[in-house]
Amino acid sequence: MLFAVLAFATCGGYSGQIMVKVECFDKTQNNISISFNYPFRLQEVHFSALLCEGPRKETLFLEGDYASSAQFFVTVSVLAFLYSLLATIVYFFYQNKYREKNRGPVVDFLVTLVFSSLWLVSSISWAKTLSGVKTVTDVHQILLLLSACRAQENLCEVLQEPIWTNLNMSVAFGFLNFFLWAGNIWFAYKETGLHKSIKRYPSRTPSEKRGSFRQYSQTSFDQSGAGFGQRLYNQGSFDLSSGGFSLPQTNLGQAILYQQVGSPTSRGPLIFVNEM
């Protein structure tokens, strides 16, 4: 938030001035003042200069319109500041609304992506524009525009040059804001919780799927083979006269006879187990 304000202040509040002293061969002097400021529509900046041919003067204009890039950079700065202020208020005072249905973190993540791109594009554009502004307002270019300064018998002296410190700082703050917003993308993404849902359902490679199929096949075979070792149970016939339980001879194994333990008068179900 602070760097967005600094980027806006250093660019939007800039005002430059150039002062040139012209001394004609007849000792006539003329001080020329050229002022320009944001949004740098330099084609509208004009000034009057002495021709050193009597009292005649000429009106000159600078060249170039750099308003679009400068205004775009300042607009991004203002919007980033307002969004940062709004997000801070919502995050601290409306935390429940922010977390409701995860809409707040998702919106914050998307807006962070957008502002990161805007800061990068606007900073590059403004840096290139600033280079053009410096070229047009260079004092040597100004002297070449003056007819009196092109004559060798006249003397021209630069009294004041524009100071570019604030505009250079605005470019630096622009790229610094880009790095800050780009670095915040990961933290905004973690707030959405999307990375947790991705880890919850990991994808399986084809080799893992083949290994799982082999393991399942082997387990199924072992389970089916284990059925051959199970005990076989056959139903026998009751001998009511002896009160016992008998089974004909079979080749499945030795028959084991179980009689009910209890009183002779009780007749309940008997269990016969044939072990392999």
CA angle 120, 123, 190 (to 5 degrees): 30
Q: Give the residue, 3 or 190, on which the prediction is more confident.
A: 190
In 154-262, alpha helices (H): 165-192, 194-200, 206-225
Tens of pLDDT, residues 89-114? 988 888 888 777 777 888 889 999 99
The rounded distance, in Å, linking the Cα atoms of 141 and 161 is: 12
Tens of pLDDT, residues 21-76? 999 888 888 899 999 999 999 999 999 988 888 788 889 999 999 999 999 999 99
How many CA atoms, within 13 angstroms, populate the side-chain half-sphere of residue 234? 18
The rounded distance, in Å, linking the Cα atoms of 188 and 183 is: 9
The rounded distance, in Å, linking the Cα atoms of 261 and 276 is: 25
* Confidence at 116, pLDDT banded by 50, 70, 90: very high
- pLDDT given for residue 179 in this prediction: 95
DSSP symbol at 39: T
The rounded distance, in Å, linking the Cα atoms of 76 and 69 is: 11
- 247: number of Cβ within 10 Å: 14
pTM tops 0.75, yes or no: no
- pLDDT given for residue 208 in this prediction: 53
Average pLDDT over residues 132-141: 93
Q: Give percent of the chain above pLDDT 70.
A: 70
Average pLDDT over residues 248-268: 46
